[in-house]
């Protein structure tokens, strides 16, 4: 069976690695991303990847996205909920309410909305799978990142509920919890920590790696291969589970 896959925030970082990993297996992949230029560039370079410029928290964009999925894929077997934003790096007492609402709007509500629309399509599949990208911050508290951590914890409950509700339809649902992933995003996070803590980027990087048994940042391709496995034929009885991929981190 040729899998039909939707990856949200699929035009960069972990999402792009996942999209390319599925495409390499022969799957037909559709990416959704707010970065229209990146979507255009990626789809031009990859004949098996189509795409939509879309904000998953916006109903009109979701209308267009799922029309495009019908046109390009004709159905859906795998949904990878990867879209999310980081929010501010400040203590709870100072956290801006508008930023709080923005993070919840994308990370929780957006994920809910795209999943809700995908479920009828996944029920038509012979092997439907939902993969939700949580975080190390969905296993531990995360000082100065309250909105991000709250949403990533919320996605765990969301995933487990999906597993319970959709198991009878043969749909699996699991969450992946990356730690510090190599790339520009972790550099930005660590820079924010350095500013908040009055330290240096080098010091925060060393502290982050000292928190892990395996002292290296995570390769996005490793996360992508885990996603491919969880949506594959050997994971059909794995559902409702949390999969850390974080070098054995002790806290966020």
Find all residues with CB under 8 Å of 191, minimum gap 6, and list them: 201, 204
CA–CA dist 32, 10 (Å, integer)? 6
- Residue 95: active-site member: no
Residue pair 49/32 in contact (Cβ under 8 Å)? The answer is no
Give the active site residue among 22, 148, 217, 243. Answer: 148
Q: Which two tokens stand for residue 96?
A: 């801006």
Report the candidate in 245, 226, 229 with the shortest Cα–Cα distance to residue 237. 229
Q: Which long-range contacts (CB under 8 A, 24 or more apart) does 115-123 make?
A: 115/79, 115/81, 115/158, 115/162, 117/62, 117/66, 118/6, 118/66, 118/76, 118/79, 119/166, 119/171, 121/69, 121/75, 121/76, 122/76, 122/77, 122/79, 122/166, 122/169, 122/171, 123/166, 123/169, 123/171
Which residue matches tokens 């957006």?
110
Question: Residue 160: which region, alpha, beta or left (left: phi > 0; alpha: psi -120 to 50)?
Answer: alpha
Query: By three-state DSSP, how is residue 235 classified?
Result: helix
Query: By three-state DSSP, how is residue 242 classified?
Result: strand
Give me the active site residues, please.
148
């Amino acid at each position: 069976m040729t899998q039909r896959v939707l990856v949200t925030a699929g035009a960069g970082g972990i999402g792009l690695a996942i999209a390319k990993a599925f495409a390499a297996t022969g799957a037909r992949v559709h990416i959704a991303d707010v970065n229209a230029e990146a979507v255009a560039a990626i789809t031009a370079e990859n004949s098996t990847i189509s795409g939509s410029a879309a904000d998953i928290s916006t109903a009109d964009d979701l209308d267009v996205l799922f029309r495009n999925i019908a046109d390009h894929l004709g159905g859906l077997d795998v949904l990878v909920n990867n879209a999310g934003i980081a929010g501010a790096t400040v203590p709870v007492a100072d956290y801006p309410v508008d930023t709080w609402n923005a993070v919840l709007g994308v990370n929780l509500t957006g994920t809910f909305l795209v999943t809700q629309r995908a479920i009828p399509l996944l029920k038509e599949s012979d092997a439907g799978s939902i993969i939700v990208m949580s975080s190390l911050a969905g296993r531990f508290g995360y000082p100065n990142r309250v909105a991000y951590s709250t949403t990533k914890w919320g996605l765990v409950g969301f995933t487990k509920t999906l597993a319970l509700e959709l198991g009878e339809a043969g749909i699996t649902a699991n969450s992946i919890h990356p730690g510090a992933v190599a790339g520009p995003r972790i550099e930005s996070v660590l820079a924010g920590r350095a500013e908040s803590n009055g330290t240096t980027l080098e010091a925060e990087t060393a502290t982050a790696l000292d928190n892990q048994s395996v002292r290296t940042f995570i390769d996005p391709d490793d996360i992508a291969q885990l996603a491919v496995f969880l949506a594959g034929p050997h994971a059909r009885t794995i559902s409702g589970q949390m999969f850390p991929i974080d070098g054995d981190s002790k806290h966020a």
